[in-house]
Amino acid sequence: MKDEIVLNGIVLSSGLQGEYDRRLVILTREQGKITAFAKGVRRPSSQLISKTQLFVMGAFTVYPGRNAYTLINVDAKEYFHELTFDVNKYCYGSYFCEMMSYFTREGDRSADYLNLLFVSLNALKKGLLPVKLIRCVYELKIMDIFGQGLQSFHCPICGSDRLTRIFDPLSGGILCENCRSKAKKSIHISEDARYVLQYINGAMLGNLYNFTVSDSVLEELMMIAKEFLAVYVDRKFNSVEIIESLS
């Protein structure tokens, strides 16, 4: 048996496995996304059942197997209980985790991904911003970290910083005056929306949710995020359908 190791992360999914076990997908700082099996965790005597739920953040003691890890212990730091008490927040949090699982792989460098997920779940927990705004910010920032961010400081075609207010999702961002005629799909956005996009792209993760917007700008951001993801993400997330059914 290989030596036990401790990995710091957040549970992205937790499903039943057999009669007493759970299969966890955990985003870890050290090893990226991993699969771990918590054996016997659903027995009445187990002390790990509450620590192997969705959203739990902590230090996971595991030992490696051929294709997965076996969970030994969890030192939980945060449970995000507030999300489980609110159907709306729970669905958005589930979406964040499902999307994160799509973007991450085992062995990837995951510190930025993990920090983004933490601050986003924490924003949902605090409830100071509309959940739809948190969703827009999360979607745009995860694309930025992934390396396919929406270009809001420089024209994605020529690199000029003399930008218009023409957003072209197919080109990858906001176009300059010289390139606006090359837009494959021209979408006019407000100056406020452009400023918010630049803030999201440039903000440190700890300051990502330190702003709010008007209803009209929020509608623009929702449209922009939806159009942008439609081009670069080739998957329909199950949790999105649930969110839309609640709207």
How confident is the model over 164-204, as pLDDT tens digits? 999 999 999 999 999 999 999 999 999 999 999 999 999 99
Question: What is the predicted pLDDT for the residue at 2?
Answer: 63
pLDDT at 39 over 70: yes
Q: Which two tokens stand for residue 113?
A: 């991904």
pLDDT confidence bin for 247, thresholds 50/70/90: low
pLDDT at 9 over 60: yes
Q: Which tens digit of pLDDT belongs to each residue from 55-109?
A: 999 999 999 988 899 999 999 999 999 999 999 999 999 999 999 999 999 988 8
235 Cβ contact partners less than 8 Å away, ≥ 6 residues apart? 102
Question: What is the predicted pLDDT for the residue at 108?
Answer: 86
pTM: 0.94
Rounded to the nearest 10°, the torsion over CA 213, 190, 203, 129 is 20
The Cα 113–Cα 51 span in angstroms is 21
Long-range contacts of the stretch 196-200 (C-beta < 8 A, 24+) = 196/221, 197/140, 197/150, 197/152, 197/221, 197/224, 198/152, 198/153, 200/137, 200/140, 200/141, 200/144, 200/152
In percent, the amount of the chain with pLDDT more than 70 equals 99
